[in-house]
Amino acid sequence: MKNKDVNYFKLQAKNLYRDYQTKQPYIDDVDRETYYQYSPKYFDIDQLFVDYDWDEENFSLMKAQHLIANIVGFNKWADLLKAKPEELELAHLLLDNQEKIHLEDWNMYMARIEYDNQVVLDPASKLEIFKKVFLEEDGHHSPFPPYKLSQK
């Protein structure tokens, strides 16, 4: 399962980089500065670059991997590669269900559960909670738009 999940994240990084490569420069009529517009298929590039403060001039596949790792809660790509299968599955679910809960809200939700119950949950327990609360129960909608574009 781990290899399958790592491959999923590799594909997401490649898709993110493909979206970045659609960049087209334009000069703003008001300030005469050069900006970029994108024609993304997979990710909301503009929102990602704003939220994560990435340099549009120097973006690479390696940086796309790092950004994907950040989006799903890892500090860097290497941490994602070393993650336990349960952590990878949870990261996969977090990326694919951002319309239900964003990473920051998920982290606050988990922190509250751990604080209220005076426990530190293991990755398997966190995965079980995510599945039960955000996949099996209905009605969760994040107020923030997902980074991953709908493929419908």
What does the pLDDT profile of the chain (152 residues) look like in tens digits?
466 779 999 999 999 999 999 999 999 999 999 999 999 999 999 999 999 998 888 999 999 999 999 999 999 999 999 999 999 999 999 999 999 999 999 999 999 999 999 999 999 999 999 999 999 886 788 999 999 998 65
The model's pTM: 0.90
Q: Domain containing 6: what range?
A: 2-136
147 in a structural domain: no
Count of domains for the chain: 1
Domain annotation covers residue 118:
yes
In a domain, 111, yes or no: yes
Query: Is residue 152 domain-resident?
Result: no
Q: Is residue 110 part of a domain?
A: yes
Say if 78 falls within a structural domain. Answer: yes
How far CA 135 is from CA of 49, 119, 127, 131, 139, in Å, comes to 28, 23, 11, 5, 10
Per the domain annotation, does 43 fall within a domain?
A: yes
* Residue 124 covered by a domain: yes
DSSP symbols for the chain? -HHHHHHHHHHHHHHHHHHHTT-EEEE-TTT--EEEE---SSB-HHHHHHHHT--SSS--HHHHHHHHHHHTT-SSHHHHHT--HHHHHHHHHHHHTTTT--HHHHHHHHHHHHHHHT----HHHHHHHHIIIIIIS-----SSPPSBPP--
